[in-house]
């Protein structure tokens, strides 16, 4: 078995054992260990949340004093201690529902959004980045000053432009690739800390 397959298998097995819906949960948990994107009591918005692996991890990290709300165009089963809203990040009318559920602004916005993959990398990359820009429009309306964010990026020609865009909004933006992420997948994560701070 190749090392990458073994690693993928490891996280899939772990997710099954620990009751997470997807392997992806470990990417968030790993990044959170290094950066504390989500802390206890945080209000969290998860954009592109189905099937709910990140929401489960976020609900655990935020604890019972926190609140987690996720948005996706696909249906998913509810996650304990979190709310699911079926909607698109390209429709800003979800903002009111988010703020109402959170009862105020969010402390963290996490985005693991992916378009339908066509297999044409430059097209998939451009569409994914465009979805990320839509996520930032929602983020700008729901994230509190000093809040944090996490964005998955399909790496390609527009990645650094997107990073520079984020850099104008946050005190610190770091590029990371967690161990739980498949090496050849060319997905990167931008960890963004300190929204609205110079």
* Cα–Cα distance, 165 to 163 (Å, whole number): 5
Is there binding between residue 71 and ligand SAM (CB under 6 A)?
Answer: yes
Residue 176 pairs in a beta bridge with: 189
- Site size toward ligand SAM (CB under 6 A) is 23
CB of 48 closer than 8 Å to CB of 62: no
Best CA proximity match to 169, nearest among 149, 155, 189, 142 = 149
Minimum CB–partner distance for residue 197 and ligand SAM (Å): 26
Is there binding between residue 73 and ligand SAM (CB under 6 A)?
Answer: yes
Best CA proximity match to 108, nearest among 67, 77, 79, 74 = 67
Largest CA distance in the chain: 49
Is there binding between residue 131 and ligand SAM (CB under 6 A)?
Answer: yes
**Three state DSSP letters for 32-54:** HHHHCCCCCCCEEEEECCCCCHH
Judged by CB under 6 A, the residue of 48, 66, 147, 156 near ligand SAM is 48
Best CA proximity match to 148, nearest among 60, 45, 49 = 45
Name which of 22 and 32 has its Cβ closer to ligand SAM. Answer: 22
Is there binding between residue 112 and ligand SAM (CB under 6 A)?
Answer: yes
Is there binding between residue 24 and ligand SAM (CB under 6 A)?
Answer: yes
Is there binding between residue 90 and ligand SAM (CB under 6 A)?
Answer: yes
CB of 169 closer than 8 Å to CB of 196: yes
Which of the residues 16, 83, 152, 167 is marked catalytic?
Answer: 152
Name which of 113 and 192 has its Cβ closer to ligand SAM. Answer: 113
Catalytic residue flag (residue 177): no
Q: Of 146-185, which residues contact ligand SAM (CB under 6 A)?
A: none
95 CB-side CA count, 13 A: 15
Is there binding between residue 54 and ligand SAM (CB under 6 A)?
Answer: yes
Is there binding between residue 111 and ligand SAM (CB under 6 A)?
Answer: no
Helix H or strand E segment including 192? strand 187-195
Is there binding between residue 130 and ligand SAM (CB under 6 A)?
Answer: no
Name which of 21 and 60 has its Cβ closer to ligand SAM. Answer: 21
**Which residues sit at the interface with ligand SAM, rule CB under 6 A?**
21-22, 24-25, 48-54, 71-74, 88-90, 112-115, 131
Q: Which residues are known to be catalytic? A: 152
């Amino acid at each position: 078995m190749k090392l990458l397959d073994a690693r993928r298998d490891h996280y899939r097995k772990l997710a099954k054992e620990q009751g997470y819906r997807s392997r992806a949960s470990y990417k968030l948990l790993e990044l959170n260990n290094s950066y504390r994107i989500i802390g206890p009591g945080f209000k969290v918005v998860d954009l592109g949340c189905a099937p709910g692996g990140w929401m489960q991890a976020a609900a655990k990290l935020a604890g019972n004093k926190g609140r987690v709300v996720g948005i996706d165009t696909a249906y998913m089963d509810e996650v304990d201690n979190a709310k699911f809203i079926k909607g698109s990040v390209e429709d800003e009318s979800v903002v009111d529902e988010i703020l109402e559920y959170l009862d105020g602004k969010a402390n963290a916005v996490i985005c693991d959004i992916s378009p339908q993959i066509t297999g044409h990398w430059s097209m998939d990359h451009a569409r994914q980045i465009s979805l990320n820009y839509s996520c930032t429009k929602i983020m700008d309306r729901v994230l509190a000053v000093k809040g944090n964010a996490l964005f998955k990026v399909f790496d390609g020609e527009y990645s650094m432009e997107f990073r520079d865009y984020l850099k104008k909004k946050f005190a610190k933006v770091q590029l990371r690739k967690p161990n739980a992420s498949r090496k050849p997948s060319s997905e990167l994560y931008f960890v963004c800390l300190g929204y609205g701070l110079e």
